[in-house]
Homo-oligomer: A and B are copies of this chain.
Amino acid sequence: MTRQVRCYDCAETYGIDDRKRCTCGEPLWFETDSSSFEWPDEEWTTGMWRYADVLPVTDPVGVPPGTTPLVRAARIDEYAGCRLHVKNEAQNPTGSFKDRGTAVGVGYAVQTDRDWIGTVSHGNMALSTSAYAASAGLECAVFVPADTPVERLELIDRHDPHIFRVEGDYGRLYAETLALETGVWFINSDTPLRVAGQKTVAYEIFEQLHPAEPDALVLPISSGGQASAVWKAVRELESAGLIDDVPRLYFVQAAACDPIATAYRNGESVVTPVVADETIAISIANSDPPSGTRALVAARDTGGTVISVPDNEIRDAMARVATSVGTDVEPSSAVAVAGVRRLSRSGDVGADDDVAAILTGSGYKERYDAEVDSRTIDLDDLEQDLASVVGR
């Protein structure tokens, strides 16, 4: 497959090893000819590697990401205001959607005989990259904001990477790592290899629903890398003749940090950084998203929008998913479900729409100082204590 990467905006092309971003300033992605792509015969047990025909790397590395469940979540239809399907990316090997891009990025590093891999992350991507580097025997450098919670670092450290806590602007850190000449191959969140891997989630959603099709896809957005990947997948599947109607793409941010939604609301054509407030959705609190403008184009191009939701709605959605779908997701994932509710209330999404929300990451990596609702009983009182609760 081609090693050429192209700017979605000005169409300039480069070699993958030559540049990380276009001279026009916008991000790049792989040129992929999907015109002859068909749903593969490959077993689903190969995970995302069943889509190797449209990936820049074909040799699996580590535990295969993908083949995550897509479930009809009818019990929260009323809350969501549509026919909701959830794609549970929390079931990937390291508990988040990031593994798809990581596997391609680390696979490329192995294939090109690199010794070091690196990333810049708030947590999930650092964990994923560390784990896949370990599986391939690569050295790994992860750069996180200096104030990243130590609980997140403890999980990352189990895979024994080199952890750098960086004092300074995250957007600048992200950009500067891509320009370093240290022999470390960086797979940051909107780089072409990562976008190539991330797109497989949309391939899976379409194949799992086939021959039905979703009317809309709703996902959280941070850097814009995943949103770009989903857009890329939709374009490729359309080019392959495998989908009839392009779904609307809706991207959702936390209101406390919503530069892309702000640009959308204001009718801007370019996303500019914002000063962020605190939010519980820390995994998507990116105030200077490197693929923000690309995502903005994706939403508009597909008839979607970019919206944001306040923390109280994120908390509520998280509880709804746990108590109605039985899935424990992190706040940054619940953002998607809170977004669906907003979109149905605003009329963007209708009650008969089939909407797929991407649940990007597991709640098990997050801890809260929540009061636990429990009662302590003596074994001798077992039957009467249970009966009193059951009401018999």
Contact = CB atoms under 8 A, between A and B. Distances in A.
User: How many copies of this chain does the complex contain?
Assistant: 2
A184 B182 CA distance: 62
Given A67-B44, A135-B75, A362-B95, A372 B163 contact: yes
Interface residues of A, number: 90
Nearest to A137: B75
Contacts of A364: 95, 155, 362, 364-365
Given A44-B43, A389-B141, A326 B373 contact: no
A24 interface: no
Interface string A81-99: 0000000100111110000
B44 A44 contact: yes
A135 B362 contact: no
Interface string A372-384: 1111111110110
A326 B131 contact: yes
Contacts of A150: 372
B63 A326 contact: yes
A370 B324 contact: no
Nearest to A370: B154
Interface stretch (A167-175, A244-252, A262-270, A340-348): A167-175
Interface of chain A, main secondary structure: mixed
Interface string A309-330: 0000000000100111111100
B378 A134 contact: no
B374 A164 contact: yes
A135 B324 contact: yes
Contact of A379 (B136, B157, B169): B169
A180 interface: yes
Interface string A140-162: 01010010001101110111101
A192 interface: no
A1 interface: no
Contacts of A392: 182-183
A376 B146 contact: yes
Nearest to A368: B154
A362 to B, nearest CB: 6
Given A364-B365, A376-B167, A71 B67 contact: no
A134 B382 contact: no
Given A118-B386, A151-B367, A160-B322, 19 more contacts: A44-B67, A45-B208, A47-B69, A67-B67, A91-B93, A94-B326, A95-B362, A132-B326, A154-B370, A157-B374, A160-B373, A163-B374, A163-B375, A164-B376, A164-B377, A166-B379, A182-B386, A182-B390, A184-B390
